[in-house]
Structure 1
């Protein structure tokens, strides 16, 4: 039984395929609110209690307070198809129950304007799934109110031109009727703007628990699963108090205000991916203060969660926090000079502007320090993309001096690593050697512990109903030490020019791909790409891209840390590969997950997973953690792949790529080997490919033929030259963009 079926209120109900697509899917950024939990609990508790059933809900609050998000969340929690109507002032009864439209002959159709012909053809061809208003909106690209007016004009035109010809009519039910009849969750937005009392009476009748709607063709009774969620803004321009009869039919009401600051920060971090809690804390304080000030001074605008999200996202993208405050928040509240002064004065009196400037200055300082670190290389790059070292090459990390640094300064510090100046100067560059990593604060340590617990809990849940359920699993979040920093500097020197060059060529393609009508590198399509044949991966076609589609990619990289990786330079090749993949993904803003794993380190730890980089807790120091990859013990590939594939399956990216770097066949204690282990891997691949995960296996050891058999030729990468492995892997990833 899937989650949708488990959540369903009526367990014996079977949704159609089209209805299942209407059930809202919670994005990863969604955080359940207290109102959501309270509502779900109340609805479930009273669902089978007759007259005590809660099926009409009122959500009242300011714009941006999360009313529609909550309505959609109820759809996901209760397993009900979600649909909505947006009310407008001139709604009439046909917008509530539907419309009777004439079906005219083709000869008369040709006499109409092209736009009117298009509307009628779309209506005749519709299957009744969309309301007439929606059809007109989609065909003509106009608003709901304009569509309703257009339908009335079209009806009048047809009646005037009918003459003596007999006209056949067809009834098209409204979205309300469809939801009412089929048991959907219907959001009714802003019914307070409706002027016509007859419309409100029809709406009142529909919201009775045992209500019915009289249509020209039949009487429709309320489906037992039908839930109506009324959402309305307080003091919204053009609104009036909610009709008393309508309000009386509500069984549960929520006053929607800004959530607590802690919840605001959590949601913003999840939605935007921005993790600077100090900055998010100040932004939240400012939003809350602006909201309070606007209310107290009768300023009509609202500082809500939408403003907070977009402001935080702008800051995360590099915008000035103080400048973007006006464009993302204040100007949305008001553009009146006097009112802006009131808002500014409120922030100044609370010391919030000073706090914002202080946090922003601290953030910029850290950014300048981090940006000053530049991996320098000397020598020429050959045709393979790798450089030849000069004999005078200097080991270490070369730093660019920032414009505001003191010439006599002998050290530079970033968030995680201190690098000290050396006296050695060659080729005009000063060489710096990494010093001891800066110790973590207690808060940072606690956050790291909490994150590690979360990783362990989630990983164990993934394998709880598989053949690995009895395996004692521990997920580690490795620390890094000074030697890791030095090793990273040494290995990355020759890689970075290659990675930067591939990224330089890839980024313009990404911009181009977003703009063109065709998506390249597909298995099928309407255009043949001759330049892709050489890759021999059958991705030689381009297909028409839907209007809303844009290329996106998330990458998972699994590294086999079995003991055999220590032989023949495989471990260093794997490290160089993960450095290349990590840096490429950073340059191209691709979410990346890099895990290593081993098995049978002890009886109490039969499976060990090492989370080196994780998109839920991205840290510039992750590049140094990667150097903790080492040859350890056995390998239980299927378990590791399943855990990583589940993480990828939860992302919203269009393409989810999971790459396995291994030097041999799976082998762990309790007979996890041979055909048994191979079958486990193949079942894992089949299961997650159905969820949209693409698997690739990079074989760097002696068991290449066996790995090919397990993963299949279409997923197999034969890495014969370990020196070329990093560049080859990065170029392969770039092809999926």
Structure 2
């Protein structure tokens, strides 16, 4: 993987994302540029499906850096996120030393707790030097993790280091590029946010969503693309439990292309609502006459 230099301006940052197929607004490009220049973690908050995770993926690909992803979940602990010891290999080493008949306990302890028995998990991997330069570390959906793990991250984000009691402090020679995402299912503590640059990733406006659709689903014709975007934008104005994100817009457009649709038809839109909406109550609310009205409005708006 060939490492490429960091962008030197906001415009260059926006171009870098665009080359990776990510259509950003200037506000996002600005905070991303500052994050890269100041070597500060970037904290991205927003609804699911608006493209937060994709930013880290595109950034890694376009900069030629390895992407290390830590997917957060309830119960995530140090052993899964940072490091753990290879207990099976340690036991084999201890048994072999005992069988040899000459066990220096102090030396044996030092040996079995050396780096060759250390299993590196994502956070520790991200702090270690890599041939292709510092990696992009994606800490995804932090709000799913417990508060105790969130507190543990403070040392990593503030000082680019972790402490392994048996080995001491392991510090990054070059800080990783850190992107933290959250869907805001719970609030993240201010102590962690203060260590990051913050940006709220909102649903895109009509023109930007259309540009994203053109880039990601080129097989959809211009007329269908405009109708899809108009429909989804209007759908987000309905009283739904969960609004469709950009990811759902792209999935729906791709599904319509697979069904050989060139324009939005009420019957097909109704049959494929499950691509856009993930809750039955939302589907039931939109199905029938409401779909017909939304399709008619989308067709009229796309023409205009």
TM-score when scaled to structure 1? Answer: 0.33
- Taking the aligned partners of 1:227 and 1:260, their CA distance within structure 2 comes to 28
Asked if the contact 1:206–1:222 (Cα under 8 Å) also holds between the matched residues in 2, the reply is no
The one of 270, 294, 300 equivalent to 1:352 is 294
Residue in 2 that maps onto 1:84: 69
- Taking the aligned partners of 1:356 and 1:76, their CA distance within structure 2 comes to 35
SS at match of 1:220: strand
- Taking the aligned partners of 1:348 and 1:8, their CA distance within structure 2 comes to 44
SS at match of 2:237: helix
User: 1:276 Cα deviation (Å)?
Assistant: 2.2
User: 1:313 Cα deviation (Å)?
Assistant: 1.6
Segments of 5+ residues of structure 2 without an aligned counterpart are 9-15, 96-108
User: Are 2:209 and 1:302 equivalent residues in the alignment?
Assistant: no
SS at match of 1:292: coil
User: 1:268 Cα deviation (Å)?
Assistant: 1.5
Residue in 2 that maps onto 1:61: 46
The one of 251, 254, 268 equivalent to 1:313 is 254
**275 and 91 in structure 1: CA distance in 2 versus 1, 3 angstrom threshold:** closer
User: Are 2:104 and 1:173 equivalent residues in the alignment?
Assistant: no
Asked if the contact 1:314–1:324 (Cα under 8 Å) also holds between the matched residues in 2, the reply is no
Residue in 2 that maps onto 1:253: 198
User: 1:354 Cα deviation (Å)?
Assistant: 1.8
Residue in 1 that maps onto 2:277: 333
- Taking the aligned partners of 1:95 and 1:281, their CA distance within structure 2 comes to 44
User: 1:89 Cα deviation (Å)?
Assistant: 0.7
SS at match of 2:242: coil
Asked if the contact 2:35–2:41 (Cα under 8 Å) also holds between the matched residues in 1, the reply is no
Q: Which structure is higher in helix share?
A: 2
Residue in 1 that maps onto 2:142: 191
Asked if the contact 1:188–1:230 (Cα under 8 Å) also holds between the matched residues in 2, the reply is yes
- Taking the aligned partners of 2:194 and 2:20, their CA distance within structure 1 comes to 35
Residue in 2 that maps onto 1:631: none
Which has the greater radius of gyration?
1
SS at match of 2:180: strand
Aligned residues: 267
**220 and 168 in structure 1: CA distance in 2 versus 1, 3 angstrom threshold:** closer
- Taking the aligned partners of 1:326 and 1:29, their CA distance within structure 2 comes to 33
SS at match of 2:4: helix
- Taking the aligned partners of 2:24 and 2:218, their CA distance within structure 1 comes to 19
User: 1:323 Cα deviation (Å)?
Assistant: 4.3
- Taking the aligned partners of 1:345 and 1:242, their CA distance within structure 2 comes to 40
- Taking the aligned partners of 2:255 and 2:161, their CA distance within structure 1 comes to 49
User: 1:307 Cα deviation (Å)?
Assistant: 1.4
User: 1:284 Cα deviation (Å)?
Assistant: 0.5
Residue in 1 that maps onto 2:13: none
Q: Which structure is higher in strand share?
A: 1
SS at match of 1:285: helix
- Taking the aligned partners of 2:243 and 2:68, their CA distance within structure 1 comes to 26
The higher-RCO structure (CA 8 Å, 6+ apart) is 2
Residue in 1 that maps onto 2:167: 217
What CA RMSD, in Å, does the superposition of the two structures yield over aligned residues? 3.6
Residue in 1 that maps onto 2:219: 274
Asked if the contact 2:136–2:179 (Cα under 8 Å) also holds between the matched residues in 1, the reply is yes
- Taking the aligned partners of 2:267 and 2:39, their CA distance within structure 1 comes to 46
**168 and 181 in structure 1: CA distance in 2 versus 1, 3 angstrom threshold:** closer
- Taking the aligned partners of 1:174 and 1:257, their CA distance within structure 2 comes to 31
**312 and 86 in structure 1: CA distance in 2 versus 1, 3 angstrom threshold:** same
Asked if the contact 2:69–2:140 (Cα under 8 Å) also holds between the matched residues in 1, the reply is yes
Segments of 5+ residues of structure 1 without an aligned counterpart are 10-24, 48-52, 109-165, 363-737
Asked if the contact 1:91–1:194 (Cα under 8 Å) also holds between the matched residues in 2, the reply is yes
Please identify runs of 4+ aligned residues in structure 1 that moved more than 6 A: 25-29, 357-360
Asked if the contact 1:60–1:233 (Cα under 8 Å) also holds between the matched residues in 2, the reply is yes
- Taking the aligned partners of 1:289 and 1:195, their CA distance within structure 2 comes to 36
